[in-house]
Structure 1
Amino acid sequence: MKVLIADDEVSMLKILKAYFEKEQCEVITAKDGQEALEVFYNNKVDLAILDWMMPKIDGIKVCKKIKEISNTKVLMLTAKSENEDEIDALNCGADEYIRKPFDPRVLIIRAKKLAGSNEVFKIDDLKIDFKTNKVYKGEDELNLTNKELQLLKCFISNKGAILSRKKLLDLVWGMDYYGDDRTVDTHIRRLRSKIGEDIITTHRGIGYSLEEFND
């Protein structure tokens, strides 16, 4: 699991990084909201842990930005204690909320539970298990490449939204990719040949989407 931890307290970052790495997580840290968004845009993050009060861009705004383009789980940390603040955090799209001070072991448990939810998706006769990174069509396991799997994850995280080639390149290949955006068409064509032609919809001149489904 890849975890983004953003907090302007350096000591807090060091402590949480150590705890999550002990749980075999890959951890990326950020010291302010702007850096947190840069990290998020350039990495495939499974869970974002955001401090509410950060310099440059606060955690609430970072959370909103993350939720606008992905289904990444977000856990908010805050020293605020008012119930209205908790409501504000959840209304911005946060999936969980923990008040400071807290026991890091409790945070680990909450984070693992949060990241573990919705790990298996079913679309028609497809079953996608993100915990094991395996995809099944009926009873047969599909041999997807890494890019095909990342594309499928991207569509599921943004189900119902039309994603342009540029957006898919940024999310799957990274914002520093300078190749031909037609590579997206090639990979989607190969992905469709494995999962079925009707699951990913083409919007001519705009992009691609995976329509709403029950997970």
Structure 2
Amino acid sequence: MNLLLADDEPLMLNILQSYFSKEGFRVFPAQDGEEALELFYGGPVDLAILDWMMPRRSGVEVCREIKKAGRTKVLLLTAKGGAEDELLALEAGADDYVRKPFDPRVLLLRARKLLQLTSTVAIGDVTVDLAGQKIFRGGEDVQATWKEFQLMKFLVRNKGRIISRKMLLDHVWGFDYFGEERTVDTHIRRLREKIGESRIKTYRGMGYCLEEPDE
């Protein structure tokens, strides 16, 4: 899932970017409204989480433009607490509204609800329990390692999209990883042995894609 995350507070932006990235989201960060719109028009976005008070363009202005352009879900963050403010946010087209301060876990649940993401995802006879951090095939636990589960979770969040080795390394091994990129291939091979060869397709020179068996 592609997440546009816009907040002019660097610390808040970094915390939320790290939190959502660990949950398998592809996060595109922005520090002002104009940058947020540039990212929005630069590629597909499933959900935009926007701070209300941002320089150049406010979150409400960005929300209005996003809603005019398509069906992307929008969640507004704000320190404002009045009923009139909430009404203004909803009139601008926001699908949800969260007041600061908030628990990132609550924000994640709100995001999942907007995107209709459940804690259990089925791909053919394979079931991924995102909450329990387990993978089942035909009802049997495949005994996935932590790295294998994290790979699967990120692929599930981006099902149908080609994900590069670099992207998998950044989100599973961490942005500070300086090892061999081919380690991804080794873990993907082991994951395929557990869930079935046809689930994860290789696109040479591009990366990997999680696909339904009949796709």
Q: Name the TM-score class by shorter chain.
A: 0.5 to 0.7
- The TM-score with structure 2 as length reference comes to 0.62
CA distance in 2 between partners of 1:49 and 1:165 (Å): 16
Matched, 1:29 2:12: yes
CA distance in 1 between partners of 2:184 and 2:192 (Å): 12
CA distance in 1 between partners of 2:28 and 2:203 (Å): 35
Structure 2 counterpart of 1:88, one-letter code: E
Matched, 1:112 2:109: yes
What are the superposed Cα offsets for residues 22-73 of structure 1, whole Å, 9 maximum, x if unpaired? Answer: xxxxxx723xxxx689x55995256799998x459744445677966xx6x5
- Are residues 203 and 48 of structure 1, via their aligned partners in 2, closer, same or farther at CA, if it must alter by over 3 Å? closer
Match of 1:88 among 51, 59, 65: 65
CA distance in 2 between partners of 1:204 and 1:143 (Å): 28
CA distance in 1 between partners of 2:15 and 2:35 (Å): 10
Structure 1 counterpart of 2:12, one-letter code: T
Residues 172-183 of structure 1: pairs in structure 2 closer than 5 A: 172-183=172-183
- Are residues 64 and 132 of structure 1, via their aligned partners in 2, closer, same or farther at CA, if it must alter by over 3 Å? farther
Deviates more, 1:100-109 or 1:167-176: 100-109
CA distance in 2 between partners of 1:213 and 1:171 (Å): 25
Which residue of the partner structure matches residue 50 of structure 2?
76
| Secondary structure at the counterpart of residue 208 of structure 2 | strand
CA distance in 1 between partners of 2:108 and 2:20 (Å): 22
- Superposition deviation, residue 89 in structure 1: 3.5
What are the superposed Cα offsets for residues 143-171 of structure 1, whole Å, 9 maximum, x if unpaired? Answer: 11111111112212222222232232222
CA distance in 2 between partners of 1:148 and 1:42 (Å): 18
- Superposition deviation, residue 201 in structure 1: 0.8
Structure 2 counterpart of 1:113, one-letter code: R
- Are residues 110 and 187 of structure 1, via their aligned partners in 2, closer, same or farther at CA, if it must alter by over 3 Å? closer
Which residue of the partner structure matches residue 44 of structure 1?
22
8 A Cα contact 1:6 1:36, kept in partner: no
Which residue of the partner structure matches residue 84 of structure 2?
none
Structure 2: which 5+ residue stretches go unaligned? 82-97
Which residue of the partner structure matches residue 167 of structure 1?
167
Deviates more, 1:59-68 or 1:119-128: 59-68
CA distance in 1 between partners of 2:205 and 2:77 (Å): 46
CA distance in 2 between partners of 1:77 and 1:131 (Å): 28
- Are residues 110 and 36 of structure 1, via their aligned partners in 2, closer, same or farther at CA, if it must alter by over 3 Å? closer
Structure 1 counterpart of 2:208, one-letter code: Y
Structure 1: which 5+ residue stretches go unaligned? 11-27
| Secondary structure at the counterpart of residue 153 of structure 2 | helix
CA distance in 2 between partners of 1:114 and 1:205 (Å): 32
Deviates more, 1:142-151 or 1:172-181: 172-181
CA distance in 2 between partners of 1:180 and 1:81 (Å): 40
- Superposition deviation, residue 199 in structure 1: 0.2
- Are residues 110 and 89 of structure 1, via their aligned partners in 2, closer, same or farther at CA, if it must alter by over 3 Å? farther
8 A Cα contact 1:49 1:76, kept in partner: no
8 A Cα contact 1:5 1:29, kept in partner: no
CA distance in 1 between partners of 2:19 and 2:71 (Å): 18
CA distance in 2 between partners of 1:140 and 1:205 (Å): 34
- Are residues 136 and 115 of structure 1, via their aligned partners in 2, closer, same or farther at CA, if it must alter by over 3 Å? same
